Amino acid sequence: MKEIRPAILMLFLFTVICGAMYPAVVTGLAYAVFPSQAKGSFITDGKNRQIGSSLIGQPFSDGKYFWGRPSATGDFGNNPMASGGSNSGPTNPDFLKTVADRVKALRDTGVAGSIPADLVEASASGLDPHITPESAALQVARIAKTRHIAETDLGKLVAAHTEPRQLGFLGEPRVNVLELNLALDGLK
């Protein structure tokens, strides 16, 4: 009994500290310092309705929109509850067939030339909201034709929504597909 009482007290104490106080302090600091990110980085429309998150890819299949990376999250693309890659290696026959099917689908829309990998391969999480500027540029002709907008105007829009490397040296330039498509809807 002599050893059990301090053990139970320590269990209770550390449960309160690590399970309640610490998370409350960290969450409070996050809301104070990074309020938008702490709430999920939601993007709202003109009526202040949440229409998506800048951190999670959205499924776009209509030809008048820029398409993001394919998702490996099961039947419902970009499902955050099923986050994860396909875990298929580069020589896996199913993976090769999936990529070949995606390349064919892009070719069927009139895409010519080299196709960037991010348009036919899912990211590790299956939720990446970004594509490369090259992937966005590859889609400009299709969207310009569908929307009857000048390709130069779409090129400027892509350039305006291209985010640079973080801190000037981390990562690669990228384009958030949801934000780009929202700006695209604002053109007309």
The residues spanned by each domain of the chain are: 4-35, 41-187
Burial (CB count within 10 angstroms: exposed 0-12, middle 13-18, buried 19+), residue 59 = middle
Report d(CA 105, CA 99) in Å as an integer. 10
Q: What is the DSSP string of 74-119?
A: SSSTT-GGG-------TT-HHHHHHHHHHHHHHHHTT--S---GGG
Report d(CA 134, CA 152) in Å as an integer. 15
Handedness of CA 58, 62, 65, 66 (dihedral sign): positive
pLDDT tens-digit profile of 42-79? 988 778 888 888 888 888 889 899 999 988 776 667 77
pLDDT band for position 96 (50/70/90)? very high
Amino acid at 98: T
Angle at alpha carbon of residue 40, lines to 35 and 45, rounded to 5°:
95
pLDDT band for position 187 (50/70/90)? low
Say what the alpha-carbon torsion angle 86, 68, 177, 54 is, to the nearest 10 degrees: -20
What is the pLDDT at residue 59? Answer: 85
Q: What is the mean pLDDT of residues 94-123?
A: 90
Name the token pair of 48: 């202040």
Are the CB atoms for 98 and 115 separated by under 8 Å?
Answer: no
Query: Does residue 6 surpass a pLDDT of 80?
Result: yes
